Structure 1
Amino acid sequence: MKIIIFCFFVFIVIEQLINIVNACTCLPSTIEEKYCRSDWVALVYPLKREEINKIEILTNNVRYTDKLCYQNKNEEEFIYTASQSAACGAFLEEGDKYLIGGIYNKGKTKKINLCGLVESWFNLSEEIKKDLNEGNFGKNCTK
């Protein structure tokens, strides 16, 4: 009987570890492909990062308060992502500038992930920046 209980315990532990080590995997794609797959795209400055929905350690979400770079007003908006990179959560460094794109989740909530468009503005080529500024980027999108 002790062996059955021990085996059951080991099985439960291994099953939980398998759930924990699942990692985010993304198909390789270009910035333009990520741009085309996005429901929305914005150039933002992350101002604040806060964890929300602290129910379980693996289901936390992170909410970033961002300032849109192209707005003159002092309006801020929220962008959501998973809190862990294993769940494809994106990490935005506060004070950096990012070109991000994502999906609308549950209505108007903006959500991003590692497989989507999350690029530091300073790492983009001058050609991409020029095309974005002139409205020529993503002209080949099919949707």
Structure 2
Amino acid sequence: MAHAPTVLFVCIHNAGRSQMAAGYMTALSGGAVTVRSGGSEPGHEINPVAIRAMAEEGIDISQGVPQLMTTEAVRDSDVVITMGCGDVCPIFPGKRYEDWELADPKGRQLDEVRPIRDDIRARVTALLSEILPLSRA
């Protein structure tokens, strides 16, 4: 049986960008990827505008709860994607790390969040095409 890769998406509040990325990875991978998300300073709720933007794509992230990113989650992930949380993420040898520079949807209107959402979708799609062939080898 092939190893299902684990991807961790991290942003500051785990309430917008990382939740949208996790939603896309879950939906687009069809369960072939274990998806986690967390924040360096988790918020209290998922950004309602991010929820609406993802709902337009047919993806429901409304049940998500912002979580604290833990050292264990990083250690247990194959790929760690950070989004504007600086250097707070622990580094473990052998992991793939990427920092995606994305605007924070916090405090933005839906028409401003859509381009962020679309950028996240494109990045998740590209990442998925890179990691899934490796897991099926």
Taking structure 2 as the reference length, what is the TM-score of the superposition?
A: 0.28
Q: Greater share of strand residues, 1 or 2? A: 1
Bigger RCO of structures 1 and 2 (CA < 8 A, at least 6 apart): 2
| TM-score, scaled relative to structure 1 | 0.28
Structure with greater helix percent: 2
Larger radius of gyration: 1
